[in-house]
Amino acid sequence: MPKTKSQAATAKPAPADKPKKTTKMESLIALLRREQGARIDEMMQATGWQQHSVRGAMAGALKKKLGLTITSEKTEAGRVYRIVEARAE
C-alpha cells in the first residue's frame, strides 16, 4: 500500500551513522577520571555551567545518584577533583 503525501511528510528519516553526542555529565565524568583530575574552572568551561552548578552536579548526580567517590586535593594550581575508582577484590 503506497504512502500518501501526508504520511510521507511525517515519516521519520532513518537514523544516520553519526556519532552519539556527548552529554555535559559525560564530559564532567571524563574530566574527573583523568589522571590529573580537573579544577572547577576546567569543568565550568567544558560544560558551560556556573561554579555552583558544577559543585551541585558533583554532589548530587555523581555522588548521590551514581554513587561515585570524588576526592579533592589542594595543589599549587588550585583545588583538583578526581573520581576514585573502586578496587576489585
Q: What is the pLDDT of residues 15-70, one digit of tens each?
A: 666 677 889 999 999 999 999 999 999 999 999 999 999 999 999 999 999 999 99
Domain with residue 33: its CATH number is 1.10.10
Beta-bridge partner residues of 8: none
Main-chain phi, psi angles of 82, to 5 degrees = -145, 150
Mean predicted confidence (pLDDT) in 67-82: 95
Residue-range definition of the domain harbouring residue 59: 23-84
Residue 79 lies in a domain: yes
What is d(CA 34, CA 70) in angstroms, rounded to the nearest whole number? Answer: 12
pLDDT of residue 85: 82
pLDDT of residue 72: 96
